[in-house]
Amino acid sequence: MNKKQIIGIIIFVVLVLSIIGIKAFTSKNGGESLTGLTTIYVATGGGKEDFLADKDVLKILRKKYKLNVVFDNWSNGKTVQIPLIRESVGLGNDTISSKISGGDNSYTIHSDGVSTYDALFTSDQRFYDYYKLWPDKEKNEAERYNVKGGSLTLNTPIVIYSWGKIVDALKNEGIVTETDGVYYISDMNKLMNYILEGKKWSDIGLNELYGKINIASTDPVTSSPGATYYGLLLSTLSEGLVTDENINENLPKLKQFYIKSGYMNNTPADLFERYLKTGMGGQPMIVDYEKSIIDFANSNKEGFSQVKDDIRVLYPSPTIWNSHCYAYFTDKGKKLYDAFDDKEIQQIAWEKYGFRTGITGGSYDVSSIGIGVPQTITSTVSSLKMDTYNQLIDYLGKGE
């Protein structure tokens, strides 16, 4: 084999490897080359991972808006406690990341060489509202970016999941009412008093259920969904307006409610799975988000078909939104914020993952779900401020 032949083979091999590398790169990024795209880094709270990783959503962002978005996982509380830079979660500059993990606390969002963010996507409105305030230096909170804009972006209300026989009994008690095929808890105070009084299921005609009336939830002390639910209960007890006076009056009642609730899961996914698997006897009533049943109906059509005729979704009246809020710090971050208004993206958010958009939850065809879900949700209470939530959680978490 002569020299020219050897060179020709080498060139051929290099070309083949280059083609393979390009295909692997584009495949990894949803079949799209990142050339010509604007890359945006977003610090992201949980609860929406599947939606943000949806291949159709990413395709729309790349093709229509020329955006390549990197969503880094963050705990909501950490966004104000430590510098909001990629190195704080082990990404970005390896050298700086290693120093931070080794205990170096000198880095801020303004330090040279750090990888900054274009936006923050929280899982709860209270964290969004709190981030926009000046950092509390007495609590050693980290410096924050200047929030140029943003708002509530993905919403899902707190609901209570139950079963047909139980809801029929609660209707007879005047606790639940039905309007246009949708079930509402119209007297939450009465239901809470039943629980506080230790009433049994048999007391309302459900002799097949053992034990006392209860609503299972995630732990409000350690779980954001649980805290949102207890925030709703506090608002209900306070008739929609929490003040310094009535919070001190109502916290002891909520503490007793918390104690009577017994064992609690830490994640809503585990609780919802137990609800589906153990049925009416195992989990008569649970607290979760509306989006859970829509996500389940889409991802497990066979399983949903087996339970949908007996599942009941109860909407507290009023209820409270769990709002995933987007705050942008840069012009690049605003591009993604604007892209979330895309009708195709909003439709995917609802149909596949159960997220509503808009002030009252958007305008979607809810009839296709096959269970009682309201077209719009108008009876809601406002999200509580961070200080109120902290006071609530601290009180629930302290010993007797």
User: Stretch 181-190: mean pLDDT, rounded?
Assistant: 95
Q: Which residues contact 133 (CB under 8 A, 6 or more apart)?
A: none
Residue 364: inside a domain, yes or no?
no
Q: Residue 15: pLDDT above 70?
A: no
Q: How confident is the model at residue 24 (pLDDT cuts 50, 70, 90)?
A: very low
Task: Return the pLDDT at 197.
Answer: 95
- The CATH number of whichever domain residue 308 belongs to comes to 3.40.190.10
Domain that holds residue 136: 3-154
For CA atoms 380, 386, 389, 393, give the dihedral sign: positive
Task: Return the pLDDT at 365.
Answer: 74
Q: Which residues contact 215 (CB under 8 A, 6 or more apart)?
A: 160, 191, 195, 261, 285, 286, 287
Q: How confident is the model at residue 150 (pLDDT cuts 50, 70, 90)?
A: very high
Domains identified in the chain, total number: 2
Residue 335: inside a domain, yes or no?
no
- One domain for residues 62 and 188: no
Burial of 354 (0-12, 13-18, 19+ CB in 10 A): buried
User: Stretch 274-287: mean pLDDT, rounded?
Assistant: 95
Task: Return the pLDDT at 344.
Answer: 93
- 393/230 Cα distance (integer angstroms): 9
- One domain for residues 160 and 49: no
Residue 132: inside a domain, yes or no?
yes
Boundary-marking domain end, from 154, 185, 213: 154
Q: Residue 269: pLDDT above 80?
A: yes
Three-state DSSP class for residue 122: coil
- 80/143 Cα distance (integer angstroms): 8
For the stretch 297-342, pLDDT in tens is 988 999 999 999 999 999 999 999 999 999 999 999 999 999 999 9
Q: Which residues contact 31 (CB under 8 A, 6 or more apart)?
A: 59
Q: Tell whether omega for the bond before 318 is within 30 degrees of 0, i.e. cis.
A: yes
Which DSSP string do the residues of 305-348 spell out, in sequence order? HHHTTTEEEEEESSEEEEEEEEEE-SHHHHHHHHHTT-HHHHHH
For the stretch 201-250, pLDDT in tens is 999 999 999 999 999 999 999 888 899 999 999 999 998 889 888 999 99
For the stretch 109-119, pLDDT in tens is 999 999 999 99
- 323/384 Cα distance (integer angstroms): 12
User: Stretch 81-105: mean pLDDT, rounded?
Assistant: 97
CA 170 to chain centre: 29
Boundary-marking domain end, from 97, 128, 154: 154
- One domain for residues 307 and 236: yes
Boundary-marking domain end, from 131, 154, 177: 154
Are the beta carbons of 219 and 266 closer than 8 angstroms?
yes
- One domain for residues 187 and 271: yes
- One domain for residues 213 and 93: no
- One domain for residues 137 and 166: no
Most distant CA atoms of the chain, gap in Å: 96
- One domain for residues 86 and 191: no
Q: Residue 18: pLDDT above 60?
A: no
Q: Which residues contact 26 (CB under 8 A, 6 or more apart)?
A: 32, 33
Q: How confident is the model at residue 368 (pLDDT cuts 50, 70, 90)?
A: confident
Share of the chain above pLDDT 90, in %: 76
- Strand 149-163 and strand 286-289: the pairing is antiparallel
User: Which position has the higher pLDDT, 147 or 365?
Assistant: 147
Q: Which residues pair with 380 in a beta bridge?
A: 319
- 203/166 Cα distance (integer angstroms): 12
Average pLDDT, the chain: 90
Q: Residue 1: pLDDT above 90?
A: no
- 400/395 Cα distance (integer angstroms): 10
- 352/354 Cα distance (integer angstroms): 6
- One domain for residues 114 and 232: no
Task: Return the pLDDT at 25.
Answer: 47
- One domain for residues 114 and 255: no
Share of the chain above pLDDT 70, in %: 89
Task: Return the pLDDT at 7.
Answer: 60
Q: How confident is the model at residue 378 (pLDDT cuts 50, 70, 90)?
A: confident
CA Rg value for the chain: 25
- 118/148 Cα distance (integer angstroms): 10
- One domain for residues 91 and 13: yes
User: Which position has the higher pLDDT, 106 or 362?
Assistant: 106
Task: Return the pLDDT at 31.
Answer: 45
Q: What is the DSSP letter of 261?
A: T
Residue 359: inside a domain, yes or no?
no
Q: How confident is the model at residue 263 (pLDDT cuts 50, 70, 90)?
A: confident
Residue 131: inside a domain, yes or no?
yes
Residue 156, both tokens:
């899902």
Q: Residue 162: pLDDT above 50?
A: yes
Q: How confident is the model at residue 12 (pLDDT cuts 50, 70, 90)?
A: low
Q: How confident is the model at residue 30 (pLDDT cuts 50, 70, 90)?
A: very low
Three-state DSSP class for residue 183: strand
Residue 185: inside a domain, yes or no?
yes
Task: Return the pLDDT at 10.
Answer: 63
CB atoms within 10 A of CB 208: 10
Residue 349: inside a domain, yes or no?
no
Measure the CA dihedral 54/55/56/61, to 10°: 90
Task: Return the pLDDT at 367.
Answer: 77
Q: How confident is the model at residue 261 (pLDDT cuts 50, 70, 90)?
A: confident
Q: Residue 35: pLDDT above 50?
A: yes
- One domain for residues 126 and 270: no
Residue 283: inside a domain, yes or no?
yes
- One domain for residues 130 and 167: no
